Amino acid sequence: SQTIHQWPATLVQPVGSPLSLECTVEGTSNPNLYWYRQAAGRGLQLLFYSVGIGQISSEVPQNLSASRPQDRQFILSSKKLLLSDSGFYLCAWKDTAGGKLFFGSGTQLSVL
């Protein structure tokens, strides 16, 4: 069966520090991968999605970037965090046959 791993669960970082969040998927090949961000009590904002290795689509211009170095690995990065980068970050993969997404457990990022 397929599983998705996302870590860390919580992260507190100072303004201006770098960021690296990692997401890996097991049990499937060539999935579509997604990064979403959710502000407290709000909906989900699509940040990046990837349909294959090295293929990244950016939805929101900001100081975040994403990379997909391997088929089942998706990384969200920043060189210098801003206060506005605080939020709940969710990774997901897509079941291409059915179209539904499967989500990781999320990372709560607080930038102080």
Contact characters 8-47, other proteins, x per CB under 8 A: ------------------------x-x-x----xxxx-x-
Tally of CA atoms within 13 A in the half-sphere of 78 that contains its CB: 22
The Cα–Cα gap between 69 and 67 comes to: 6
Site for other proteins (CB under 8 A): which residue of 5, 28, 56, 102? 102
Closest CA to 11 of 77, 94, 101, 99: 77
For binding to other proteins (CB under 8 A), which residues are involved? Answer: 6, 32, 34, 36, 41-44, 46, 49, 51, 57, 59, 88, 90, 92, 94, 98-106, 108
